[in-house]
Amino acid sequence: MDDIKAKKKFGQNFLKDQSIINQIIEAMPHTNHLIAEIGPGLGDLTHHLVKIRSVTAFEVDTDLCKHLNQEFKQELEDKHFTLHCGDVLERWGQDKKDATASLVEEDYDLVANLPYYIATKIILQALEDPKCKNMLVMVQKEVADKFSADVGDKEFSGLGILTQTVGKARTVVKVPPAAFNPPPKIDSAVVLIEKNGSLPIEGFSTFLKIAFAQPRKTLAKNLSSHISKDLIGQALTSLNMSATIRPHETSTQLYHKLFSILKGTFDGSKQQRKQSKRTRAKQEPES
């Protein structure tokens, strides 16, 4: 609709390139799961999705909700299309202390053209969601590279490790700015994440943030901000890892082994260091 303009506050860029839409549809996982679409916008991709399977869509823009209610009036009546208007993260239960909160009550595949400013947060939430089985999402190209990177790649980070923990990822198609209206200032990419498991026990994501805090420094140096150097050295030695290995040079498997060894040491490490300083101060003779 010509009278609906993209809103900057929602990070809206409407995908208009039909060839890109076709490639997204071709890359859809062959499952019987419900399709959950975040940010259907004007409904250009949605028109194709509802021909494949039932779709539950989530749109934050009330103007677009009105448009979609009219555009998919028949599908709504047939119960083949469901529309929720509002903040998808609030509905997801991110404000609740429930790491297993699900977006919908049945197994689903997520399809989305995600606003850049919130894309990573949504993907991480979907990785944790046990009902989400696959993701096919449009994001900033640099973000897609991080989720699909492998050990040794300069883009390899905690995002790639979390993805490899639950499944595998690959870039389906790179998307130039001209494919959108209005065109963004950066390139985009569609990434497919196929899940075959769930994220590990609590604390692993925090551990990865510590490990990659300063990617150019060694892994040991980053970890030493929260864990004693002696414990880190012992852990690295036990796994035959070099003391100079860098975060992006460490495999997902090794990160899980490191976490298993060190997970009981970093939660209270700051308090432990404070206590250690107090002990040393008491032991030092007064001048």
Q: What is the mean pLDDT of residues 85-91?
A: 89
For residue 89, pLDDT beyond 70? yes
Position 262: which residue type? L
At residue 277, the pLDDT reads 44
For residue 286, pLDDT beyond 50? no
Q: What is the mean pLDDT of residues 143-157?
A: 95
User: Which band of pLDDT confidence, cut at 50, 70 and 90, is reported for residue 280?
Assistant: very low
**Among 6-20, 26-40, 76-90, 111-125, which stretch is predicted with the lowest mean pLDDT?**
6-20
The model's pTM is 0.84
At residue 285, the pLDDT reads 39
Read off the tokens for 193. Answer: 């994440």
For residue 95, pLDDT beyond 90? no
Task: Round to whole Å and give the CA distance between 272 and 265.
Answer: 9
Which tens digit of pLDDT belongs to each residue from 154-197? 999 999 999 999 999 999 999 999 999 888 899 999 999 999 98
Q: What is the mean pLDDT of residues 228-239?
A: 96
The residue behind tokens 């030092």 is: 284
For residue 57, pLDDT beyond 90? yes
Cα dihedral 170→194→95→101 (10° resolution): 180
Task: Round to whole Å and give the CA distance between 133 and 112.
Answer: 14
Q: What is the mean pLDDT of residues 68-93?
A: 93
In contact, 226 and 271? CB cutoff 8 Å: no
At residue 6, the pLDDT reads 55
% of the chain with per-residue pLDDT over 90: 72
Task: Round to whole Å and give the CA distance between 116 and 8.
Answer: 11
For residue 96, pLDDT beyond 70? no
Average pLDDT score over the chain: 87
Which tens digit of pLDDT belongs to each residue from 189-220? 999 999 998 776 678 999 999 999 999 999 99
At residue 274, the pLDDT reads 43
Which tens digit of pLDDT belongs to each residue from 266-278? 654 444 444 444 4
Task: Identify the structural domains of the chain with CATH numbers, from first to last.
Answer: 8-195 (3.40.50.150), 204-282 (1.10.8.100)
**Which residue, among 6, 2, 3, has the nearest Cα to 181 in the 3D structure?**
6
